[in-house]
Amino acid sequence: EADIYQTPRYLVIGTGKKITLECSQTMGHDKMYWYQQDPGMELHLIHYSYGVNSTEKGDLSSESTVSRIRTEHFPLTLESARPSHTSQYLCASSERGWNTEAFFGQGTRLTVV
């Protein structure tokens, strides 16, 4: 069983609020990722990190930001939530190198009203 945790699992929040989605992994993985998942769509990479103090934007434009101050922690922040941010957010991690797979958390279902 993969040791990667996301909190909260479900969140309903009003427009304009600031929110932080938490993601932690206990596997010591260097690489971490945030994906956005909508029904019938592929998972879209919104942010990734190669290690501490490393963050990159993914293929999908996002108004969110991330930080990587500790290896195990990769939080995602929305400064001002909007209804268009309603989605499922999946955090993942992997070891450094080519031949590795991604391990996923259970996801956070975000609804902005």
Nearer to another protein, 31 or 85 (CB): 31
Restricting to residues 56-95, which ones interact with another protein according to CB under 8 A? Answer: 58, 90, 92, 94
> How remote is the C-alpha of 103 from its chain's centroid?
12
Binds another protein by CB under 8 A, chosen from 3, 43, 55, 67:
43
- Are the CB atoms for 33 and 93 separated by under 8 Å? yes
11 lies in the binding site for another protein (CB under 8 A): no
Helix (H), strand (E) at residue 36: strand 31-37
Per CB under 8 A, 23 contacts another protein = no
Q: Out of 36, 62, 64, 105, which residue is the one contacting another protein (CB under 8 A)?
A: 105
Structural contact between residues 36 and 89, judged by C-beta atoms closer than 8 angstroms? yes
C-beta closer to another protein: residue 42 or 113: 42
Distances (CA, A) of 47 to 10, 14, 34, 105: 20, 24, 5, 15
Contact 22, 41 (CB under 8 A): no
What does the binding site for another protein look like in residue numbers (CB under 8 A)?
A: 4, 6, 31, 33, 35, 40-43, 45, 48, 58, 90, 92, 94, 96-107, 109
